[in-house]
Amino acid sequence: MPSISSLLLSALAVAAPIFAVDTPVNATLNKEIKTAPTELSKLDLVRDDYAFDFTQSEKYSYSPGGVVNANAATFPASTGHGMTVAWLALGPCAMLPPHFHPRADNFVVAVEGNTTTYMVQENGAKIVTSNLTPGKLTIFPQGSVHSMQNNGCTNATLISALNSDDTGTTNLLNALYQLPGDIVDAAFGTNSTSNGGSVPDVGTGAAVGSAECRARCGL
Ligand SMILES: *[C@@H]1O[C@H](CO)[C@@H](O)[C@H](O)[C@H]1NC(C)=O
Ligand SMILES: *[C@@H]1O[C@H](CO)[C@@H](O)[C@H](O)[C@H]1NC(C)=O
Ligand SMILES: *[C@@H]1O[C@H](CO)[C@@H](O)[C@H](O)[C@H]1NC(C)=O
Ligand SMILES: *[C@@H]1O[C@H](CO)[C@@H](O)[C@H](O)[C@H]1NC(C)=O
């Protein structure tokens, strides 16, 4: 009989992909804005939809957390403006698993909490670690692998600015475990095939953090 946790994981694997990527809220509008002859005609197309409410997104969550993007897909008014703003909501000990953005540099500023960030730019680069407390900013260059964890037992909130309205996000482990298990095993030099099934789905973009933090915070 499957264990409760494996049932939960398979339920997550089925349920979570709904949130995994930003589906255009109005693809027709994106297309019309991209082919509009002038800025003024874009005004008519966008009409009153010039405000984006992060708190109304299904990904807005502090348990464990979530990443809410205001980008071309979720906020058509931003189409063609070459940037995304993201609200990073991290509940106690929540983390963003290692990922990179294929099409954007990423500047992140903390407004609440104490979040440790990790970044590796490419093979041979040293790891860059920053503690982001309110008012502190760090940079994840385009394509760099980065991860962060809220170390605190209270919420952390950070705001990201990225220089594309369609940044893309690639979660490393989720991408890796799409490869055949024997290829992953050979690449890692370990027998990791059996671990692939327990990599959490991308979901809201955030995940439960380290055992050390959770024990410290009594979670
Ligand atoms: C999507 O955009 C098109 C083109 O501007 C508009 O006609 C339509 O009403 C919009 N649909 C929704 C659901 O807002
Ligand atoms: C933030 O967390 C780091 C890592 O746990 C710690 O070294 C640092 O002192 C904390 N900063 C503040 C202001 O609490
Ligand atoms: C975190 O923020 C959410 C949303 O504002 C709130 O419901 C929750 O109580 C907060 N949690 C903590 C631990 O402060
Ligand atoms: C790898 O682990 C799985 C699951 O524990 C096991 O069935 C398999 O025999 C192992 N393969 C090797 C090459 O050790």
Q: Is residue 176 part of a domain?
A: no
**Closest residue to atom 5 of ligand 3, CA basis:** 62
- Is residue 158 in a domain? yes
Supply the pLDDT for residue 15: 41
Is residue 151 lining ligand 2, measured as CB closer than 6 Å? Answer: yes
Residue 68: Cβ within 10 Å count: 25
Q: How many domains does the chain contain in total?
A: 1
CATH number of 22's domain = 2.60.120.10
Q: Is residue 42 part of a domain?
A: yes
Ligand number with the minimum distance to the CA of 65: 3
Confidence (pLDDT) at 200: 77
Give the residue among 77, 74, 69, 71 at the shortest CA–CA distance from 164: 71
Q: How far apart are CA 59 and CA 169, in angstroms?
A: 15
Q: Is residue 208 part of a domain?
A: yes
Q: Which of these, 206, 201, 199, lies nearest to 64 by C-alpha position?
A: 206
For a substitution probing ligand 4, which of 6, 191, 198 has the most ligand atoms within 8 Å of its CB?
A: 191
Q: Can you tell me which atom of ligand 3 is nearest the CA of 91? A: 1
Give, for all 219 residues of the chain, the pLDDT tens digit.
334 333 333 333 334 445 678 999 999 999 999 999 999 999 999 988 899 999 999 999 999 999 999 999 999 999 999 999 999 999 999 999 999 999 999 999 999 999 999 999 999 999 999 999 999 999 999 999 999 999 999 999 999 999 999 999 999 988 888 888 888 888 877 776 655 667 778 888 899 999 999 999 999
Domain membership of residue 177 (yes or no) is: no
Pairing of strands 106-112, 137-140: antiparallel
Is residue 154 in contact with ligand 3, taking CB distance under 6 Å? Answer: yes
Quote the distance between the C-alpha of residue 162 and its chain's center: 12
> What is the pLDDT, as a whole number, of residue 7?
37
Query: In this structure, is residue 195 part of a structural domain?
Result: no
Alpha helices by DSSP H, 35-132: 39-46
CB distance 113 to 152 below 8 Å: yes
Question: What is the span of the domain harbouring residue 46?
Answer: 4-169+204-216
19-45 tens-digit pLDDT: 678 999 999 999 999 999 999 999 999
Residue 190 in domain: no
Question: Is 183 contained in some domain?
Answer: no
- Atom 10 in ligand 3: residue holding the nearest Cα: 155
Q: Which residues line ligand 1 (CB under 6 A)?
A: 26, 28-29, 32, 45
Q: Is 88 exposed, middle or buried (0-12, 13-18, 19+ CB in 10 A)?
A: buried
Question: Nearest 5°: phi and psi at 149?
Answer: -140, 135
Atom 5, ligand 2: which residue's CA is nearest?
151
Q: For residue 53, report the distance from its CA to the centre of ligand 3, in Å.
A: 17
